[in-house]
Amino acid sequence: MYGKAFAPEYQGALSASLTVNSSYDEVLATAERARRDAGSDLEAARAALALAEAGRRLGRAAQAGAAWRDSYRCARRAGDPAGMAWALWSGGTLARQCGSLPLARRLLSAAVAFADACGERLAHGYALAGLAETGRIQGDYAAVADLHEQLLHEARAHGESRHMVWAMSGIAQMHRNTGDHHKALELFTECVRIASEADDARGRAWSLRGMADVLSLRGDTDRALALLSEAEVVCRDLELAGALAYNHKMRGNVLFRAARYEQACTAYTCALRAFREMNEARGTALARLGLAKARSRRGRAPAATLTELAELEREFERIGLRQARQSVVAFRSELAAA
């Protein structure tokens, strides 16, 4: 059995007024008031952490970067290693979002060390989860498969639905990427069930997107689009800017697979605009790749497509996204064969 989802990143007095399903505009306003009224470094650190998370989720990278550093400095002055761990986790998560994966690993590894030293189990788990996700999006499955299983075991042991959904969806994504679509769909479906029962709207939205991806790969386009529409409602209600952008990108993927290239271009263009606005390097590159492929299918000159593919391959190499780089190589081979 799993308990209701909760948000440990909202600490102290903030935990009484904010939940895992609070909109990020609400989080931002509440945290700004708390930071302004903070009577101690500890209170200031907690308010700044919430500011960092709201800023990151709303796609305001500069604001989030300043806030997590402020949180870290306040926690250090307060002599609170747990607070320092949470701030480093936030900074590492932001670095991954911005495509700085080596920095993300350094910050998240430091967060693990701080949390381990002071016995802060939740911060330790979140930082480990961040390291696992960083490795997974790079395609380094061998290195992070055991870590995902460890997180899954810990989530089950403590009845933490939010981490359960995260770990299981990560494992599902690895099955999807290695071709076991049946297992991936089974796990994503279970994630949707757990997130729904735990009242975890964010987890439900991400899991629905995973289901849609796999259903699309199996040819069920209409069902996939319906799930993405359902997830989009959640993303808009909670102002999940990043999740909404990835939802648009996935819609582009689904439409591309269905050979609906003009609609795919529209979806990819929408995603690309959103990713660029929030300085999301990984999403920007992935949306560009989708758009390049869709435009090519609509008759774009092969030379122009090949030029863009070369640029994208360098970008994926810089970020460290192995799976995406392989996609570039595969599409270039298709063009060459044609």
Per-residue pLDDT tens over the stretch 232-247: 999 998 888 889 999 9
Report the candidate in 144, 210, 207, 153 with the shortest Cα–Cα distance to residue 181.
Answer: 210
Given pLDDT bands bounded at 50, 70 and 90, which one contains residue 207?
very high
Question: Residues of 138-151 as b/e, b for ≥16 C-beta within 10 angstroms?
Answer: bbebeebbebbeeb
Give the rounded percent of residues in the chain with a pLDDT score beyond 90: 70
Query: Mean of the per-residue pLDDT values for the chain?
Result: 92
For residues 282-291, average pLDDT: 95
pLDDT of residue 2: 63
pLDDT of residue 10: 93
CB 275 within 8 A of CB 313: no
Alpha-carbon distance of 42 to 34, in angstroms, equals: 11
pTM of this structure? 0.89
Tens of pLDDT, residue by residue over 25-66, are 899 999 999 999 999 999 999 999 999 999 998 888 899 999
Q: Which of 118-122, 149-153, 288-292 has the highest mean pLDDT?
A: 288-292
pLDDT of residue 37: 94
